[in-house]
Amino acid sequence: MLKQLKDKLMKRYRQMADAQPGERFMDQYERRQEKTGKGEAKWRGPLFIAGGVLLFVIGLLLSIPPGVPGFLLWIPALGLIVARSCFLANLLDRSEVMINKLIQKLPAKLRPWEKQKGNQS
């Protein structure tokens, strides 16, 4: 059972990672909508959105005390919400593109995750 869950999560992660920037979240939303049309109960959407909001709030509250990484709950919370909210999926896609443009404007020294010219091994 855990192996199936792990495989499913890895598949979803791969889909998100392989998608084009600016299209990832809408792709996820559209995949979820296709699945909903195949017999998934309609009440599950609002339930997942409520669960995502609750998880996000818990993560926010856990981020207040120093040393507690509550922000780690934000990622699955947003995943739950985005999979069922067209508006938020669109918003996150546009935000991703805008953030990527801002990051590219940063000096290379502030982007250590990118290989710098002349410093390649």
pLDDT tens-digit readout, 40-71: 667 777 888 899 999 999 999 988 888 888 88
pLDDT of residue 111 exceeding 80: no
Residues sharing a CB contact under 8 Å with residue 56, sequence separation 6 or more, in sequence order: 73, 74, 77, 78, 81
> Is residue 107 pLDDT above 80, yes or no?
yes
Segment 74-81 long-range contacts (CB within 8 Å, at least 24 positions apart): 76/52, 77/52, 77/53, 78/52, 79/28, 79/52, 80/48, 80/49, 80/51, 80/52, 80/55, 81/48, 81/49, 81/52, 81/53, 81/56
Q: Confirm whether pTM is higher than 0.75.
A: no
pLDDT of residue 97 exceeding 90, the answer is yes
Q: What is the mean pLDDT of residues 84-108?
A: 88
